[in-house]
């Protein structure tokens, strides 16, 4: 484990150990620019063997340069926090950091509750999210980009992901960064799970919503083309958006 990964574990251990959710951090599963995912041993009282903990990097190491396309429409209730955010002060960056993490947890919880194919979120402490572990004791579920399957399974997975995009839109959520990098493949029986929701937006409040929806659909459709799946992503996204605009989803 690198010094940076050890650094970002400090808050995680204090909070979730005290809450009797995890007893041990076992290994790094995935590292990224914004967060690191760890496999953790679950506390016996939870009835689970493992949990995944997505721990955001310390605020000063985060990159918010591309946030603006996603931040539109998010509500900041405190006038002091709103001014600080607009002025890009240190306190404003803390507000932004907290929004980014809490928005992911809230979105993932809402989507799990309506039956979307997302991991079950369990707890959030403002800098990390604990969620169900996807995979076996020996390895994590693979990203969709590394999975291989025949054409029939590819068609089923493509259609399932399109159904999830529609379900999310029906409930006023667009992922905003959907691709084979943030879809996990479990098995032919269990299918896939969509992950990484900090940038998810409410299409009623964000003027970039249509563009983001089209991009999500295009990213997934393009991936499945190499497995022989034929689709018309532009037509599908256009139909979805028109139905959403006319409250017909």
19 lies in the same domain as 114: yes
CATH code of the domain covering residue 227:
1.10.510.10
DSSP state of 140: B
Global pTM reads 0.85
User: Where would I find the H helices in the chain?
Assistant: 3-7, 10-18, 68-71, 79-87, 90-113, 151-170, 209-225, 233-245
14 lies in the same domain as 128: yes
The string of pLDDT tens digits covering residues 156-215 is 999 999 999 999 999 999 999 999 999 999 999 999 999 999 899 999 999 999 999 999
End-to-end CA separation in angstroms for the chain? 46
Q: What is the model's pLDDT at position 53? A: 93
- For the cut 50, the answer to whether the pLDDT of residue 60 exceeds it is no
pLDDT level of residue 91 (50, 70, 90 thresholds): very low
- For the cut 60, the answer to whether the pLDDT of residue 73 exceeds it is no
Indicate the residue among 95, 111, 132 that finishes a domain. Answer: 132
Indicate the residue among 100, 132, 164 that finishes a domain. Answer: 132
CA separation, residue 59 to residues 85, 89, 185 (Å): 14, 13, 31
CA separation, residue 167 to residues 108, 157, 181, 221, 243 (Å): 13, 15, 20, 17, 12
31 lies in the same domain as 126: yes
Residues of the domain holding 182: 142-245
């Amino acid at each position: 484990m690198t010094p940076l990964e050890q650094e970002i574990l400090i808050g995680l251990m204090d909070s979730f150990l005290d809450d009797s959710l995890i007893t041990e951090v076992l290994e790094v599963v995935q590292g990224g620019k914004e967060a690191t995912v760890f496999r953790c041993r679950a506390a016996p009282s939870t009835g689970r063997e493992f949990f995944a903990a997505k721990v955001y990097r310390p605020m000063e190491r985060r990159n918010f340069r591309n946030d603006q396309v996603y931040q539109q429409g998010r509500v900041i209730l405190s006038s002091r926090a709103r001014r600080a955010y607009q002025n890009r002060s240190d306190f404003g960056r803390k507000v932004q950091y907290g929004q980014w993490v809490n928005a992911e947890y809230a979105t993932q919880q809402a989507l799990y509750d309506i039956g979307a194919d997302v991991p079950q979120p369990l707890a959030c402490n403002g800098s990390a999210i604990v969620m169900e572990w996807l995979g076996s004791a020996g390895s994590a579920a693979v990203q969709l980009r590394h999975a291989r399957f025949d054409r029939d399974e590819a068609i089923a997975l493509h259609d399932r992901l399109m159904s999830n995009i529609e379900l999310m839109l029906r409930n006023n959520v667009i992922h905003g960064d959907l691709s084979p990098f943030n879809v996990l493949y479990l098995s032919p029986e269990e299918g896939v799970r969509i992950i990484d929701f900090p940038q998810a937006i409410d299409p009623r409040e964000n003027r970039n919503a249509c563009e983001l929806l089209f991009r999500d659909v295009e990213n997934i459709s393009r991936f499945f083309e190499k497995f022989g799946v034929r689709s018309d992503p532009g037509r599908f996204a256009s139909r979805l958006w028109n139905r959403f605009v006319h409250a017909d989803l």
